[in-house]
Amino acid sequence: MSDAEKQPNIVFILADDLGWADLSVYGQTQYQTPHLDALAAGGVRFTQAYANSAVCSATRFGLITGRYQYRLRGGLEEPLVRTAHLHGLPTDHPTLPSLLRDAGYETALIGKWHLGNLPNYGPLKSGYNRFFGNYGGAIDYFTHKPGVGAAVPRDLYEGEVPVERVGYYTQLLADEASSWIAQQAEEKPFFLSLHFTAPHWPWVGPEDEHVSRDLTDLFHYDGGNLHTYAKMVRSLDAAVGQVVQALKAKGVFDNTIVIFTSDNGGERFSKTWPFTGQKTELLEGGIRVPTLLSWPARLQPQVSEQVTITMDWLPTLLSAAGTAPHPDYPSDGENILPVLQGQAPVHERRLFWRYKAQRQRAAREGRFKYLRINDNEFLFDVEDDTLERANLKDQHPAVFARLRQAWEDWNAQFLPITDEVFTHGVTPDIQADRYAPERANRGL
């Protein structure tokens, strides 16, 4: 059977808090990312790819369900850690891995879950046959703990059983993924979600174990620098190269769809030029993400200007596998495979975002983007004005009014954000917003 007749394998690689220009193929000049650059050269590099949210777990709800995350209580806001024992991905909701498993795929998640904690939620309850990784949002790269101190348990699991490993987490995930790929049967396609925590804080490089020992707070405001961040991204790049090599060694690279993207924009050390904004912000730097796709058997190398968003991957990958979303849970995303295969032209999209809806909301249609930050409203041409500096709402009042109303109509379909979302089950120390100081400095 030729590659064109076989179901493709799928490896979905998700970086954590990676900025738009943190890869050299997207504009980084202070260091190189040769493995990801090679993936881009042989595949599709997207120039207008967006994350479903400006924060982690919300985007992951969009990815795994193929729908706007605001349909589910767990997807409303961040950080989910506040109520992860109460709210998460419902186990009866069809997911990308469960639908692929039903289509004959072996499925695994290696890395970050962040969609609800045990005992109520978890990867093995939502379509994955195997899981190795962390349930929460962030862990130290060497201690594998979500906090500091001897009494803090490790957030590292094999399935639903805590385990211990020695090593830098990015490398551990690459080793686990490479080993799992090598073990897969030739006659059955596989779907691997490889969700790194890099380059999410704490700011620790692969040779910085001493930094982990000295930390008093994983979010350390007084830590990190551009040099350390570069080491973290280069380690991520090498890990991706290792996984690609594992696919080639097994002889399945050509008929494997490899996707690399980020869950949201970058944080304090990221490069987001030519955009402004960062994680937690609906400016382009907070939601526009580097995105690469490789499928040598079926797709020609290209640079795609198609506007796309995280939730598009569910219908796109299901289509490539010869199946479709569950009819009772239609995707809010779109199958972009015909565009990539040259069977359909690039077309306009209308996409929406909200983040603490009273504070930030956004809508994009064609070249225009409606943005509200607190009580300030804007209309930007994000194709010509990538820095979002020229407010065009008075020059194009009809476009401004249309997108403003479109956002209201869209928002009315989803679960509201109430005070309970931020306070239910929250202790005062957890309720404190870690990002408040940085947002305050940016006027948000």
- Residues annotated as catalytic (active site), given as ranges: 56, 114
CB 144 within 8 A of CB 154: yes
Hey, which bits of 204-250 come out as E strands?
none
Amino acid at site 223: G
Looking from the CA of 371 toward its CB, the CA atoms found within 13 Å total: 22
Which of 288, 304, 273, 275 lies closest to 28 in space, CA to CA?
273
CA 438 to chain CA centroid, nearest Å: 21
Strand 106-112 relative to strand 190-195, pairing: parallel
b/e sequence 398-433, b meaning 16+ C-beta within 10 Å: ebbeebbeebeebbeebeebeeebeeeeeeeeeeee
Which of 120, 149, 125, 144 lies closest to 133 in space, CA to CA?
144
What span, in angstroms and rounded, lies between the C-alpha atoms of 368 and 286? 17
Q: Cβ atoms within 10 A of the Cβ of 305, count?
A: 11
**151 token code pair:** 């009494």
What span, in angstroms and rounded, lies between the C-alpha atoms of 89 and 353? 20
What span, in angstroms and rounded, lies between the C-alpha atoms of 393 and 373? 14
